[in-house]
Structure 1
Amino acid sequence: MSSRSFTGLKPLTRPRLYEQVAEQITGWIGENGLKPGDRLPPERELATRLGVSRATVSQALVALEVIGVVAVRHGDGAVLTETRSSTKIIDAIRAHATRMPEIIEARDALESKLAALAAQRRSDDDMARIDAALDEMARDIEDGGRGVEGDELFHAAITAAAHSSLLSRMMAEISDLILETRIESLSQPGRPRDSLKAHRKIADAIRAKDPRAAAEAMHDHVEMVSDVALLRD
């Protein structure tokens, strides 16, 4: 028997179905010469052509949106924002999937503490900004959107209300990574309304100046938004 080391050999990774769909869509974009600003076919049409479920196409489009290849706009569908090779796209999608659990851990640690501090330190103006973000998210969801901008404004308002310059800088450092998880989560069926409900619970605890309840509500919220199809796969 050979005594050679097998350290350099790694198990082969089987492509997930949504990765294959993303690769097919990317190939179709290149073959048809689409440019940034061009609209992709509707999800239903892509699902029919590719012979997969609409849910799988939706997951593939979310993956492409997370890495910045498409933008999904309410009423417009998926719009191409940049072009890349299929290999680079799949590498970026897998890198996102790999780092997502660590991003969620960081969010839980930082944002739970920020919520507690906001409950202790918030001013009336801070509370008004938190409520305004909730209103913005609710309006977008009522109009059929996902509430991404309102969600971002809400968490930014809590960070500001905590009045911690160091924690604020730490949040800024991972803001792009958090945006990945935000898009991923708010694209799950029914998630925007569930997220809005969780936001209101956090806001109520901050309004009541209850640090423990605020931290617990934020922890529960981050746990909820971390339940995404990508990680369940």
Structure 2
Amino acid sequence: MKPPTVSAANISAVPVTHGKLADKLYENMLSWITFGDLKEGDRLPSEERLAKQFGVSRPVVRQALLRLRSDEIIISRHGSGSYILRRPKKEFFDFAPMGGVADLVRCFEYRIALEGEAAWLAARRRTNIDLKRIGDALHDMDNAVASRTIATSSDIDFHAAIAAATKNELFVSTMASLSTLIFSGMTVARKLSLQMNLARLELVQKEHLAIYKAIETQDQVAARELMRKHIDNARNRVLTDSVEPDPDTKS
């Protein structure tokens, strides 16, 4: 469901009254930037004005702005204020869990560190059985691309197989504890990709294949960097169109 449109004039109509204040404000501001009247390059209201209109303290506003800067949605210019750097796709709010956007994005950020190291260890310790399990999930995702289906379960199987290949149960249990957030993030990313052309889906799959090959050849450094980049790209794809296939590529 599309959230209410928010503009600089009626921003106070979306008060932050419950939950984690900074997370709630982050989600409201992300919605405002997406559906409101602001354009890329426009300046945000001052911290003082945002605090007054949302009914929160300035430290809460600063935390929300910090999240938006970390996600490269806004950029701050010394002595000038914060400006819109890029806007999320409106379809993001059709698929993202309302009230859980901050946790969803935060999970991507955590996975960059966690799964980067998992891929490094998997490349070092994987067995042929591990490689087959990873390859089977990759094959299932290939079929999903061909049929243009979501296949979130196959994507999860791919990452879970890599965690298992580390031979460290803590990676497996940590991935399991994050399973709800990971599933949600992958589903949002895949639904958004399905709305793009076939080249977008193929680009994502090429990233998976590159990770598989690095683990297969036991190139630990490449496995880590490719995994980190893949998850960071997924985060960017969820929030913006910044990571796209070559525009000359036709579907």
User: Per the shorter chain, which TM-score range?
Assistant: 0.5 to 0.7
> C-alpha offsets along residues 29-51 of structure 1, whole Å, 9 cap, x if unaligned?
xxxxxxxxxxxxxxxxxxxxxxx
Q: Paired residue for 1:221?
A: 230
Distance 1:107 1:161, change over 3 A: same
Asked whether the equivalents of residues 121 and 163 of structure 1 are also in contact (C-alpha less than 8 Å), the reply is: yes
> C-alpha offsets along residues 187-223 of structure 1, whole Å, 9 cap, x if unaligned?
2225432221101000000000111110001011011
> CA–CA distance in 2 between the matches of 1:229 and 1:210?
29
Q: Paired residue for 2:104?
A: 100
Distance 1:231 1:100, change over 3 A: farther
Match of 1:117 among 105, 112, 121: 121
Match of 2:169 among 165, 168, 178: 165
How many angstroms does 1:19 deviate by?
8.3
Match of 1:212 among 198, 217, 221: 221
> CA–CA distance in 2 between the matches of 1:59 and 1:105?
17
Match of 1:137 among 125, 141, 145: 141
Match of 1:203 among 189, 212, 215: 212
Q: How does 1:152-191 map to 2 (within 5 A)?
A: 152-188=156-192, 189-190=196-197, 191=200
> C-alpha offsets along residues 63-84 of structure 1, whole Å, 9 cap, x if unaligned?
3xxx4xxxxxxxxxxxxxxxxx
Query: Which aligned runs of 4 or more in structure 1 are off by greater than 3 angstroms?
Result: 8-20, 58-61, 228-232
Asked whether the equivalents of residues 109 and 232 of structure 2 are also in contact (C-alpha less than 8 Å), the reply is: no
Q: Paired residue for 1:72?
A: none
> CA–CA distance in 2 between the matches of 1:219 and 1:60?
25
How many angstroms does 1:134 deviate by?
0.6
Asked whether the equivalents of residues 18 and 60 of structure 1 are also in contact (C-alpha less than 8 Å), the reply is: no
Asked whether the equivalents of residues 138 and 147 of structure 1 are also in contact (C-alpha less than 8 Å), the reply is: no
Asked whether the equivalents of residues 123 and 214 of structure 2 are also in contact (C-alpha less than 8 Å), the reply is: yes
> C-alpha offsets along residues 150-200 of structure 1, whole Å, 9 cap, x if unaligned?
211111111111111112111111111111211121122254322211010
TM-score, normalised via structure 1 length:
0.61
Q: Could you tell me which runs of 5 or more consecutive residues in structure 1 were left unpaired when the two chains were aligned.
A: 1-7, 21-54, 68-92
Q: How does 1:5-154 map to 2 (within 5 A)?
A: 13=28, 16=32, 56=90, 58-63=91-96, 67=97, 93=98, 95-154=99-158
Q: Could you tell me which runs of 5 or more consecutive residues in structure 2 were left unpaired when the two chains were aligned.
A: 1-15, 37-88, 242-251
The one-letter amino acid paired with 1:130 is I
> CA–CA distance in 1 between the matches of 2:180 and 2:154?
16
Asked whether the equivalents of residues 115 and 158 of structure 1 are also in contact (C-alpha less than 8 Å), the reply is: yes
Distance 1:136 1:103, change over 3 A: same
TM-score, normalised via structure 2 length:
0.57
Identity among equivalent positions (%) equals 29
> CA–CA distance in 1 between the matches of 2:114 and 2:33?
34
